[in-house]
Amino acid sequence: MRDEDLTNLGVYLDDRPDGQPSLIKFVPKANLIAQREEKAAKEREKVAQKEAARLAREKQEEERKEKAKVSPVDMYKGDERFSQWDEEGMPVKMKSGEEVPKSQLKKLRKDWEKQKKLWEEYNK
């Protein structure tokens, strides 16, 4: 009644603290309707954002599960940048025949460790 009927009549009830009775205000109904519509639009936007966040989390979890299916040994095998790998599957030589730079090897090792952890978790 408060949000629909009284708003359409241009009556606004202002609740007060400490058990005091509500204050009745007469406001142009166009203003009250605009406020009601703005509140509803914000609520719809909030719901849409929550839904988008939920879908993003689901997609991320699905990608994580797909990535976890790949063994760390096979992680870099299809990578065209490298020509040789060690027994763990870590690249040791670039396609050009040079050794893999230490800075790049450090990053690859870090990614390999993450993949190993995911793969072990997936295969439990």
How many structural domains compose the chain?
A: 2
Residue 3: is its pLDDT beyond 80? no
Convert the pLDDT of each residue in 21-49 to its tens digit: 887 888 888 888 898 899 999 999 999 99
Out of 63, 80, 105, pick the residue that ends a domain: 63
Instruction: Say if residue 86 is in the same domain as residue 105.
Output: yes
Q: What pLDDT score was predicted for residue 81?
A: 82
pLDDT interval class at 54 (50, 70, 90): very high
Convert the pLDDT of each residue in 83-110 to its tens digit: 888 888 888 888 888 888 888 889 988 9
Distances (CA, A) of 91 to 68, 71, 94: 20, 15, 8
Q: What pLDDT score was predicted for residue 46?
A: 97
**DSSP letter string over 5-47?**
IIHHHTEEEE--STTPPPEEEE--HHHHHHHHHHHHHHHHHHH
pLDDT interval class at 111 (50, 70, 90): confident
Instruction: Say if residue 56 is in the same domain as residue 80.
Output: no
Instruction: Say if residue 76 is in the same domain as residue 59.
Output: no
Burial class (CB in 10 A: 0-12, 13-18, 19+), 70: middle
Q: Are 72 and 116 in contact (CB under 8 A)?
A: yes
Residue 70: is its pLDDT beyond 80? no
Provide the residue range defining the domain that includes 87: 72-122
Instruction: Say if residue 94 is in the same domain as residue 44.
Output: no
Q: What pLDDT score was predicted for residue 18?
A: 84
Residue identified by tokens 């009556």 is 11
